């Protein structure tokens, strides 16, 4: 069995089985496809080859991205082994970078203002600033935000309802004043008969959701002079803000869509009970936003 043939079969399987196929699995498979010859036999793909690709990729993208790609390739080979298409999984002998997942980076007030100002100046991504605002004020995951539909927005009850999240469960998020105002403005300027909140206004993708803002976001970060920051850190900014306001770990977990408390323990030290003058730059500025509004108020 060649790598290309097995990859075609796995894509068909993953497209049905994996909810995150389009946003997570497919990009990783495409990355490996550019580095491994489609005509190479699965049995010839050795750990040394994968290790070489891993190191080269690490010079182009973040280590966390490389680890995600490795995880997808590992799942692919596990699938091949289970179907007797391959005798072993070479990825098992490749070391992941395994960067610290407890990393906590969030925006200060000044950084937030600079980022919004820079985002508004990027004409190639008209709604970038609104996406940043919505991410900071609702903690919606990237996929849920970029594919947000108007029928998921309940203006009357001030809530966004996501039918299925990363955890596989439905999720409802309250809208504070800033998020509500932002959505109302977007609704007034929406594309007629378009179901998506953030959609291409024209071109061959007109009406489809705008999914790729990587270049525009990185440009905004550079313009704003913000370093060591990713899109996912916008969720950290939200969580840090509500935690410092005094929200419980359980409440933060519910807002972020987590089933347990393990993933939100990283925010525990931001609780008012743990604050001290030594904490340094923080997100206290978020507490002043949307006074008397949830979830910041």
Q: Give per-residue pLDDT as tens, 149-200.
A: 999 999 999 999 988 766 667 778 888 899 999 999 999 999 888 999 999 8
Domains of the chain with bracketed CATH: 3-93 (1.10.150.130), 109-288 (1.10.443.10)
Assess whether pLDDT exceeds 70 at residue 255. no
Q: Look at residue 253 in the predicted model and tell me its pLDDT.
A: 63
For residue 86, give both structure tokens: 């391959």
Task: Determine the average pLDDT of the residues in 42-68.
Answer: 92
Q: Give per-residue pLDDT as tens, 121-150.
A: 998 888 999 999 998 888 888 888 999 999
pTM exceeds 0.85, yes or no: no
Separation of alpha carbons 156 and 139, rounded Å: 20
* Exposure b/e, 98-107, CB count within 10 A at least 16 = b: eeeeeeeebb
Separation of alpha carbons 242 and 139, rounded Å: 11
User: 138: Cβ–Cβ under 8 A, 6 or more apart, which residues?
Assistant: 145, 160, 173, 175, 179, 238
């Amino acid at each position: 069995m060649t790598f290309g043939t097995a990859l075609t079969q796995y894509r068909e399987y993953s497209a049905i089985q994996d909810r995150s196929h389009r946003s997570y699995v497919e990009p990783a498979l495409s990355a490996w496809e550019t580095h491994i010859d489609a005509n190479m036999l699965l049995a010839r793909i050795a750990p040394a080859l994968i290790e070489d690709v891993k190191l080269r990729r690490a010079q182009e993208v973040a280590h966390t991205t490389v680890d995600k790609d490795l995880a997808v390739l590992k799942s692919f080979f596990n699938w091949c082994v289970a179907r007797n298409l391959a005798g072993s999984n070479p990825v098992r002998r490749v070391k992941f970078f395994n960067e610290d997942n407890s990393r906590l980076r969030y925006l200060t007030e000044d950084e937030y203002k600079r980022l919004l100002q820079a985002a508004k100046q990027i004409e190639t991504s008209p709604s970038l600033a609104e996406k940043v605002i919505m991410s900071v004020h609702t903690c919606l995951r990237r996929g849920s935000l970029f594919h947000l539909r108007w029928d998921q927005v309940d203006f009357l009850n001030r809530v966004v309802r996501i039918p299925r999240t990363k955890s596989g469960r439905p999720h409802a998020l309250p809208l504070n004043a800033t998020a509500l105002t932002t959505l109302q403005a977007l609704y007034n300027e929406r594309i007629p008969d378009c179901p998506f909140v953030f959609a291409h206004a024209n071109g061959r993708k007109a009406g489809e959701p705008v999914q790729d803002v990587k270049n525009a976001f990185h440009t905004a970060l550079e313009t704003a002079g913000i370093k060591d920051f990713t899109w996912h850190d916008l969720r950290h900014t939200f969580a840090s803000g509500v935690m410092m306001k005094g929200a419980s770990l359980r409440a933060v977990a519910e807002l972020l869509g987590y089933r347990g408390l393990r993933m939100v323990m990283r925010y525990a030290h931001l609780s008012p009970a743990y604050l001290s003058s030594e904490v340094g730059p923080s997100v206290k500025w978020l507490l002043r936003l949307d006074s008397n509004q949830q979830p910041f108020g």
